[in-house]
């Protein structure tokens, strides 16, 4: 083992992450190398100093009660989101803190109204959740290929539509693959694209929200969501790229579908 | 009542509202109880990471609350990893989304209350030729916090997850969304930077 390797591995040794064989190798190197021995000792000392310095914060009691209050309570038939309508310091996280004090009754009635009328909003929230899930769970793709002719047939028999799979690599949106997802309890095709480091999930289904003549873009939890309908299908594109880039993406997909479906 | 209610309803909540009405209130309560038992014990951990990522307590509180709301919504689909890294991964996404919304501007840190930034010595320098453990004097908690808070994001995150949240390399890799090898090199770099800053702070204290 040389010093460059030891430079990395001695941290794993300190952290107890090395198997016995590697630990022995590092210890053998350190025993014969004063420079690395000095580093090991100083990093160990630093680690101990940090452990003893009480660096962990206790969450403020008011934060704990804010969260407790937000959990559904047993007695409530309808969870009035009154907790969320407390005047907040300022608007934060987009639609999250509305910064307006509404009464509990008013808030509850709003929820009822919205539940009845705004199915699209549910779908929009669900596609954002599905997008976040796809990034978190290490389950971005079921079929991983940049070949549109591989992705498209993969969906056969898994969803009730043949989703158009369009390769936009030349236009800066790389096709990564496809995934079967569930939105609103229904299987939905998700076609996964990448723009620089950003993932775009394009959800396609026969009926996913109300049909949109024009495209509609909104922001939910910091993610941009674009919804449009075409060729009898509903499209929902979700990503953390800027809204205008997502619009560009949607436009390119729509153009490719155009009067002569490209795929 | 309002004429245009849709605009006033925070979107984040209403999945909760809908589920409650559609489903059995008892089941919903049971689910909430399970979530509370599983997730609330890690509130201090989540808050601590939020504090170091957002760099001030007010933003951290908002981020933690949003994290728990998202976690509750996704609780049904939660199948692992352990609860703590799962929550911390959600928190990290919340913080990143917020930074993306702000256009990458980090908000002012409140870790440097004790020392005016202008008089700070350079944060780090290349490692000394022969750093002796004996040279590493104990720093008080406030100084260590300030040194950690000054590290660039990926390194700050790695060191906080390791030293303060006490995650394994595997768990850090999950939270940060990078391979374990990257975690190892980030930690090595983070500790090297931190040690240099530590030594500089020591020099200033003498």
Give the DSSP H or E segment for A177: strand A174-183
**Residues A42, A48, A52, A56: is their CA dihedral positive or negative?**
positive
Residue B41, judged by CB atoms within 10 A of its CB (0-12, 13-18, 19+), counts as: exposed
Number of residue pairs across A and B with CB atoms under 8 Å?
231
pLDDT of residue A135: 82
Are B8-102 and B117-205 the same fold in CATH? no
Structural domain spans, chain B? 8-102, 117-205
Optimal mutation site among A4, A39, A57, interface B, most CBs of chain B within 10 A: A57
Contacts of A148 (CB under 8 A, 6+ apart): A165, A166, A167, A175, A263
State the fold for domain A119-257: Phosphorylase Kinase; domain 1 (3.30.200)
Find chain A residues with C-beta within 8 A of B186's C-beta: none
* Inter-chain residue contact A55 with B163, CB threshold 8 Å: yes
Give the DSSP H or E segment for A148: helix A148-154
The mean pLDDT of A251-262, rounded to a whole number, is 73
Structural domain spans, chain A? 3-51, 61-117, 119-257
Q: Name the residue among B65, B70, B136 with its Cβ closest to that of A66.
A: B65
pLDDT of residue A223: 87
* Inter-chain residue contact B12 with A7, CB threshold 8 Å: no
Question: Computed over its alpha carbons, how large is the radius of gyration of chain B?
Answer: 20
Q: Name the residue among A74, A88, A222 with its Cβ closest to that of B98.
A: A222
pLDDT of residue B71: 93
Torsion angles phi and psi, residue B114, rounded to 5: -85, -20
Q: What is the mean pLDDT of chain A?
A: 78
For B87, nearest residue in chain A (alpha carbons): A136
pLDDT of residue B108: 59
Confidence at B25, pLDDT banded by 50, 70, 90: confident
pLDDT of residue A94: 35
- For B47-79, the pLDDT digits (tens) are 999 999 998 889 999 999 999 999 998 888 887
Whether cis (ω within 30° of 0) applies to the bond prior to B170 is no
Confidence at B118, pLDDT banded by 50, 70, 90: very low
Q: How far is A194 from chain B (nearest CA, A)?
A: 16
Q: Can you name the residues that pair with A233 across neighbouring β-strands?
A: A230
CB-side neighbour CA atoms (13 Å) of B194: 32
Give the largest Cα separation in chain B, rounded: 72
A206 pLDDT more than 50: yes
For A59, nearest residue in chain B (alpha carbons): B44
- For B75-111, the pLDDT digits (tens) are 888 876 789 999 999 999 999 999 888 875 555 566 6
CA–CA distance, B19 with B30 (Å, rounded to integer): 13
pLDDT of residue B110: 63
Q: What is the mean pLDDT of chain B?
A: 78
The mean pLDDT of A222-248, rounded to a whole number, is 90
Q: Is the confidence metric ipTM above 0.95 for this complex? A: no
Find chain A residues with C-beta within 8 A of B141's C-beta: 53-55
Least confident of A21-25, A112-116, B71-75: A112-116
Q: How far is A235 from chain B (nearest CA, A)?
A: 20
Given the structure tokens 């779908």, which residue do they identify?
A123
pLDDT of residue A170: 85
Find chain B residues with C-beta within 8 A of A221's C-beta: 11-12, 66, 70, 94, 97
**Residues B189, B191, B192, B193: is their CA dihedral positive or negative?**
positive
**What percent of chain A has pLDDT above 70?**
79
pLDDT of residue A84: 39
Check: CB of residue B76 under 8 Å from CB of residue B59: no
* Inter-chain residue contact A100 with B8, CB threshold 8 Å: yes
Return the CATH number of the domain spanning residue range B8-102: 1.10.1740.10
Check: CB of residue B11 under 8 Å from CB of residue A121: yes
Confidence at B176, pLDDT banded by 50, 70, 90: very high
Which class in CATH covers the domain with range B117-205?
mainly alpha
Helix pair B14-22, A119-136: axis angle to 10 deg? 110
Q: How far is B118 from chain A (nearest CA, A)?
A: 24
pLDDT of residue A150: 84
Q: Bigger pLDDT: A101 or B167?
A: B167
A89: helix, strand or coil: coil
* Inter-chain residue contact A79 with B16, CB threshold 8 Å: yes
Check: CB of residue A220 under 8 Å from CB of residue A120: no
């Amino acid at each position: 083992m040389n010093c460059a390797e030891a430079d990395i591995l001695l941290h794993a040794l300190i952290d107890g992450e090395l198997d016995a064989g590697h630990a022995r190798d590092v210890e053998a190197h350190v025993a014969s190398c004063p420079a690395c021995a000095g580093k090991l000792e100083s990093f160990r000392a630093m680690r101990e100093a940090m452990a003893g310095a009480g660096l962990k914060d206790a969450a403020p009691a008011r934060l704990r009660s804010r969260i407790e209050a937000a959990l559904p309570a047993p007695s409530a038939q309808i969870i009035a989101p009154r907790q969320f309508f407390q005047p907040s310091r300022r608007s934060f996280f987009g639609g999250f803190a509305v910064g307006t004090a509404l009464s509990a009754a008013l808030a509850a009635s709003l929820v009822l109204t919205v539940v009845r009328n705004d199915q699209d909003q549910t779908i929009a929230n669900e596609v954002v959740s599905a997008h976040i899930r796809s990034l978190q769970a290490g389950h971005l793709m079921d079929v991983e290929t940049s070949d549109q002719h591989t992705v498209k047939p993969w969906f056969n028999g898994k969803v009730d539509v043949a989703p158009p799979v369009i390769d936009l690599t030349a236009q800066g949106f790389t096709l990564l693959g496809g995934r079967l997802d569930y939105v609103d309890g229904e299987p939905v095709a998700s076609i996964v694209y990448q723009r620089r480091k950003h993932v775009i999930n394009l959800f396609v289904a026969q009926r996913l929200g109300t049909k949109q003549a024009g495209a509609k873009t909104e922001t939910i939890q910091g993610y941009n969501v674009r919804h449009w309908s075409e060729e009898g299908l509903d499209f929902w594109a979700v990503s953390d790229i800027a809204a205008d880039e997502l619009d560009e993406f949607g436009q390119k997909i729509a153009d490719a579908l155009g009067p002569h479906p490209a795929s | 009542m309002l004429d245009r209610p849709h605009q006033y309803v925070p979107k984040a909540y209403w999945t909760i509202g809908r589920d409650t009405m559609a489903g059995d209130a008892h089941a919903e309560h049971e689910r909430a109880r399970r979530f509370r038992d599983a997730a609330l014990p890690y509130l201090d951990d989540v808050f601590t990471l939020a504090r170091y990522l957002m760099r001030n307590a007010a933003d951290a509180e908002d981020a933690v609350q949003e994290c728990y709301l998202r976690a509750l919504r996704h609780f049904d689909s939660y199948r692992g990893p352990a609860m703590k890294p799962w929550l911390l991964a959600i928190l990290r996404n919340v913080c990143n989304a917020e930074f993306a919304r702000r256009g990458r501007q980090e908000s002012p840190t409140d870790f440097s209350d004790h020392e005016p930034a202008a008089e700070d010595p350079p944060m780090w320098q290349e490692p000394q030729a022969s750093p002796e453990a004996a040279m590493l004097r104990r720093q008080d908690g406030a100084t260590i916090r300030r040194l950690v808070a000054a590290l660039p994001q990926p390194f700050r995150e790695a060191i906080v997850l390791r030293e303060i949240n006490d995650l394994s390399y595997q768990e850090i890799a999950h939270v940060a969304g990078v391979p374990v090898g990257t975690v190892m090199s980030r930690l090595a770099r983070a500790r090297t930077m931190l040690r240099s800053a530590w030594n500089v702070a020591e020099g200033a204290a003498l």
